[in-house]
Amino acid sequence: MNGMKTLMLLSALSALFMGLGYMFGGPGGAAIALAVAAGLNLFTFWNADRIVLRMHNACEVDARCAPELVGIVRRLAERAGLPVPRVYLIDSPHPNAFATGRDPAHGAVAATTGLLAILDREEVAAVLAHELGHIRNRDTLIMTMTATIAGAISMLANFGFFFRGERANPLAMIAAMLLAPFAAMIVQLALSRTREYGADRAGAEICGNPRALASALAKLHRGAARIPGPVSARNPAAAALYIVPGGGGRDSLFSTHPDTANRIAQLQLMAETMGLAAPRRPSVPASGRRRSASALDPHGRRR
């Protein structure tokens, strides 16, 4: 089912890409747009992980340099029935994490040093379990590919407006320039919000502690709002990959993530359904509260 949704989504975006090409260049423009869309799909399919990791200057770590972090990922992958993904660290104070890779066999998870600085060990494990949930649900490839094609549609619409042919309808050109990128953006954002809830559920099941994930989301929400992410500032499409958005998420048409408070509420309900005790009641408080010390240092080792 997930594969069919992926195919339908990419087909719709590619058709929109072709429609813009036809509007700007007729049949020849549509053929060129189809070739470009196919090329983007193939290139991103094979290089999704490299694109995202290079964008963040992520550094791969192993059991020798980050034994605790790699050990956590290995144990969680075994519980999830997944191949052990590659583990990356990003030297950034912005607290966040993401997963990438075209399939579980080529998965990778990355966390920033800022995340390790504010979360305890259980919370780190819960966040990594959320990212493994994305890999198990096969979200990582489609999110990267959608962001790439959506950005290309926006570029084509603006490029075509300035280099339109003599017979082109100016009103149609303006409508294409405004509506095509908007339509692609709506699909991308709605997709991200839906899959964040799915990864929350999968992550809570993998780590067995929904409240640890809820607590981590609360801390990351505050930290990400206080310390902006440099990569998402340059490339807003990257924000859809993160566990929390850079400035806090709201359930609105233009948000890349669900509202953090709603995600926490869903996890608390899941914990109650599982019959777990409630040692903590995380929320999304104002910044300035005392942060808890992490069990891992910024290099993924035990403190």
Residue 11 banded pLDDT, cuts 50, 70, 90: confident
Looking at residues 268-292, what average pLDDT do you find? 63
Evaluate if residue 252 carries a pLDDT over 80: no
Can you spell out the DSSP letters for 252-289?
STT-SS--HHHHHHHHHHHHHHTT---S-----PPTTS
Residues classed as catalytic? 131
Helix, strand or coil for residue 97?
strand
| Of 79-88, 91-100, 148-157, the least confident | 148-157
Selection from 127, 266, 249 nearest residue 192 by Cα: 249
User: Which pLDDT does position 298 carry in this prediction?
Assistant: 66
Nearest to 109 by CA among 96, 91, 92: 96
CB neighbourhood size of 2 (10 A): 12
Question: DSSP of 120-163, one letter per residue?
Answer: -HHHHHHHHHHHHHHHHTT-HHHHHHHHHHHHHHHHHHHHHHHT
Look at residue 287 in the predicted model and tell me its pLDDT: 42
Backbone angles phi, psi at 229, to 5 degrees: -90, 125
In sequence order, the β-bridge partners of residue 108 are 86, 100
- Return the structure tokens found at 162: 């300035």
Over residues 33-62, the mean pLDDT reads 85
- Looking at the predicted structure, is the pLDDT value of residue 291 above 60? no
Helix (H, G, I), strand (E, B) or coil at 287: coil
| 108 three-state secondary structure | strand
Q: pLDDT per residue over 182-194, tens digit each?
A: 665 666 666 667 8
Contact 21, 156 (CB under 8 A): yes
Helix (H, G, I), strand (E, B), or coil: what is residue 9? helix
DSSP state, 209? -
Q: Work out the percent of the chain whose per-residue pLDDT is above 70.
A: 68
What is the average per-residue pLDDT within 30-36? 82
d(CA 206, CA 130): 8
Q: What is the pTM of this model?
A: 0.79
Provide the 3-class DSSP secondary structure of residue 251: coil
Kindly tell me if the per-residue pLDDT of 248 is higher than 60: no
Please state, rounded to an integer, the average pLDDT across all residues of the chain.
80
Most confident of 107-111, 152-156, 255-259: 107-111
Residue 23 pLDDT level (bands cut at 50, 70, 90): confident
Lowest mean pLDDT of 28-32, 130-134, 262-266, 284-288, name the range. Answer: 284-288
